[in-house]
Every structure is written in C-alpha cells, then in structure tokens.
C-alpha cells in the first residue's frame, strides 16, 4: 500500500525520479505502484469483503455441504459450486469498482487565462483592472446549453455532470456519489461495475436465503417435525436467513433505486440536487437508449497515467505590478495583496500636510540622522540617495509610490508614525512638501 505524501514543491530536484501517483494531490491511496487507485476510506473495503465472504463460507460449510446428500447426481455439488463462483464474481466486481479510476479529471497546474475584466473592481490611477474568472460559464453541448462551474481546487471549469468529491478531493466525470462501502467515488468509469456489484449481491442474498429454507424443509420432511423444531436443529440457517433478509432490503432497495436512475439517465447527485422530471432532464434519451448507454457503451480510457514520470512544471509567467489574475472565490484581503496596496506615505500625505501652522502643502518634515539607523539598509540607502539628488523629491521615490505589489516594512510604518508626531508637536519650522533628510557632514 502506498499512501500519498503531502504535495511536493514543483522545483524539487527529485521530481524527475517520481511518478504521478507519488506526487498526487488528491486523497487517493495507491497499490502496486499506482496500478490500483482507491479512495482514502479504502479500509472499509475489507469490512465489505468480510460481510460477503463470511456468510457464504458459513452457508457452504453448514448448509450447502449437507444438501449434497439430499440431492441425487451432481445437483448437491452444484449448490456449493454456484455459491462459490457467485461469490468470487461478486468480489471481482467489487474490486473493479473500488480499485480503478472512476473518471478523475486531471488538475491544471495553473489557472486558465481570464477572458474578461471584472467590472466590480476599482482600479486606481495608473493601475490595470484585475482579471477575474467568471464563477459560472455557459457551454453548448448537442444543442443544449449547460452551466459549468469553476473549481478552485482543480483550477478548471468542470464539464457537464462533473462534480468535485470532497472526500477524494478530485473532480470526477459523471459523478454519482462517494460510496463508503467500496471506498471509492462512483463515476463514469466504474458506475457499470458498481451497479452489477449491487445487483449480484442482491441475487447472492436471495440464493443463500432460499437454500437455507430448502434445507429447513428437508429436515422437516426427513424427521416429520414442525418448522420451528427444524429451525432449532440448524441454527446456522436461522442466522443466515435473518442476515440475508436484512441485507436484501438494503442492497435490493439500492438496486431498484439505481434501475430507476438508469432508466431516466440520472445520477444520484443529480437526483437529490436537481429533482429532474421527464421534461427538464436534458440527458434522458429514452429507457432503451439509457440502458444501452450504461451497459453497452465503451468505457473511456483514464485521463491519468499514474505510473508516468513527473514532468517538471514550467515556472509561473511574470505578472504586471498593477494587474493580475483573481479567482472567482478570492476574498477581499487577497484581492488587495494581488492588486498592490496603497503606500503608507500616500495614505498619510494629506493628513500630514494639514498639521502645523496652516501652510497646506508647504509642510516640511525633518528626519533626524539617528532615526535612519533603525531602518533596514536597503531603505536607508534609498532615502539617502533620493534626498541627495537634486530635483527629485524623496516622497516620490520608487519605494513610496502609490501602486506596488509588496507591503510596507514595519520600520517604515514606525518611522511614519514618529515623523507625524514630531510634525504635530513642533512642526512648522520648514517649508516645502514631502519628506527630506538632513545631510550628514562628510
């Protein structure tokens, strides 16, 4: 068994030596080096196998074996053989349902290119409006318009009838439901096997249930006793009758429900969410064609080669300072970071120019030489260079412009607050606007 480790960085030097299943970002669990793919709750598969194999084993030992003597020729042996073959067939269908790709759509490495501008975003002066992917798009398929949604996890627009499974963390084509009994999603590539598994399990329950009563009937005839006394002579038959009767209501009811879904060409997800009727279901092709599509159409190949070697992802293309991509679910805080926040100096400029002796726009703020020592070396150098260059105002330097894609450092925030306090308490001694520094003697 191979449990998928946490996703590794795309720039890792070992990516070239790994396979797809080893770097898989979903919650799946792989066996035999990616040849079998299961859901994260694959442990429940062992319970399902026991619920099938243990009752059949009890049936073969305590019921079918004793019926061999009660039937002439090979009829008695055939009862055991049919039970064993039917059980093996049922378990094969279970593994075909649980151990294969249900129709997972591969994730995109990067979001798709936005096609339109979001008119709700406010763009400042000199800034490019943000590109935002629409949450829902309309696509036309066979003359029918479908609304497809954007998946933030897989970074793609889901095809019609596709949904994202929160348990397996994958987008699955023709998603029906996630079955905890098989430990796998039920989708386009394994729905046929899932229905055959449920249906064959129902028939197996009926088979065991019926021959337990046959054995009780044989005891009644051979010993000329009542039904109750005959049942007391074979407690294994009583347990199997009760067990299979309860199981038939479960798997039998599930079989009938999925027969209805197949006849109307619905999935379990669509039935519970959209409540299709005959007039509104765009997928309904008629009962006969619906059954043909489910049982006789070709199963498409998997879109994932789990054993392929991982390819190095190309680096993200550089983005402009003012513009960028925005997911349809991105919050306000993320939007501000992506767009670039206003610089601290630009926000405080009007407030600082209003203090002092009433000379609006003429206020000159002095910074002592010692205070620059508290700044980082890069910022200190920038301030010194800008203050020493004639004709260039430090306030309009590159680190204080209104549009940017980085946050102000804590040192600059502290310096801004300290300068504001000095200006409010003892300002008005200088003229001009902006921030200047005293030239140190050389």
Catalytic residue positions, numbered? 179
User: Whose CA is closest to 412, among 357, 358, 348?
Assistant: 348
What is the β-pairing status of strands 435-437 and 365-367?
Answer: parallel
Residue-wise burial string across 212-225, b where 16 or more C-beta atoms lie within 10 A, e elsewhere? beebbebbbeeeee
Which residues lie across from 31 on neighbouring strands? 36
Distances (CA, A) of 85 to 204, 243, 280: 10, 20, 43
Maximum distance among all alpha carbons in the chain? 123
Residue 169 near residue 29 (C-beta atoms within 8 A):
no
Contacts with 153 (C-beta within 8 Å, 6 or more apart), sequence order: 107, 164, 169, 171
Q: How far is CA 140 from CA 164, 211, 282, in A?
A: 21, 54, 12
- The answer to whether 175 touches 160, Cβ cutoff 8 Å, is no
Instruction: For residue 421, give every residue at least 6 positions away whose Cβ sits within 8 Å of its Cβ, in sequence order, or none.
Output: none
Report CA Rg, the chain: 36
Instruction: From 7, 86, 2, 88, select the one nearest 42 (Cα to Cα).
Output: 2
Do the beta carbons of residue 367 and residue 313 sit within 8 Å? no
């Amino acid at each position: 068994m191979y449990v998928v480790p946490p996703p590794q960085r795309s720039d890792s030097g070992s990516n070239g030596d790994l396979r797809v299943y080893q770097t898989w970002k979903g919650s799946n669990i792989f066996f035999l080096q990616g040849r079998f793919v299961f859901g994260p709750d694959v442990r429940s598969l062992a319970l399902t196998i026991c619920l099938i194999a243990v009752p059949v084993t009890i049936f073969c030992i305590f019921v079918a074996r004793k019926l061999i003597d009660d039937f002439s020729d090979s009829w008695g042996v055939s009862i055991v053989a049919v039970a064993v073959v039917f059980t093996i067939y049922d378990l094969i269908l279970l593994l075909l349902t649980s151990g294969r790709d249900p129709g997972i759509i591969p994730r995109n490495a990067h979001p798709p290119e936005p096609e339109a501008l979001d008119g709700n975003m406010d763009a400042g002066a000199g800034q490019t409006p943000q590109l935002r992917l629409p949450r829902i798009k309309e696509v036309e398929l066979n003359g029918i318009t479908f609304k497809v949604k954007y998946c933030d996890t897989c970074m793609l627009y889901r095809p019609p009838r596709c949904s994202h499974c929160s348990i397996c963390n994958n987008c699955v084509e023709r998603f029906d439901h996630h079955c905890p009994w098989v430990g796998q999603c039920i989708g386009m590539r394994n729905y046929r096997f899932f229905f055959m598994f449920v249906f064959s399990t129902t028939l197996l329950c009926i088979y065991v249930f019926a021959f337990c009563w046959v054995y009780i009937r044989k005891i009644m005839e051979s010993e000329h006793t009542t039904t109750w006394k005959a049942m007391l002579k074979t407690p294994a038959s009583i347990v199997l009758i009760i067990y299979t009767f309860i199981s038939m209501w479960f798997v039998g009811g599930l079989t009938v429900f999925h027969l209805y879904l197949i006849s109307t060409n619905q999935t379990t997800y669509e039935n519970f969410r959209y409540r299709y009727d005959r007039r509104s279901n765009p997928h309904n092709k008629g009962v006969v064609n619906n059954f043909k599509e489910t049982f006789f159409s070709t199963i498409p190949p998997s879109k994932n080669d789990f054993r392929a070697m991982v390819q190095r992802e190309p680096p993200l293309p550089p983005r402009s300072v003012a513009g960028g991509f925005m997911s349809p679910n991105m919050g306000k805080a993320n939007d501000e970071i992506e767009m670039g926040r206003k610089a601290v100096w630009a926000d405080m400029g009007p407030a600082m120019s209003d203090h002092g002796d009433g000379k609006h726009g003429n206020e000159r703020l002095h910074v002592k030489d010692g205070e620059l020592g508290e700044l980082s070396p890069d910022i200190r150098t920038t301030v010194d260079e800008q203050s020493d260059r004639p004709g260039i105002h430090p306030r309009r330097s590159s680190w204080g412009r209104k549009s940017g894609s980085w946050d102000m450092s804590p040192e600059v925030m502290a310096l801004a607050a300290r300068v504001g306090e000095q200006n409010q308490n003892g300002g008005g001694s200088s003229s001009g606007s902006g921030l200047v520094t005293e030239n140190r003697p050389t």
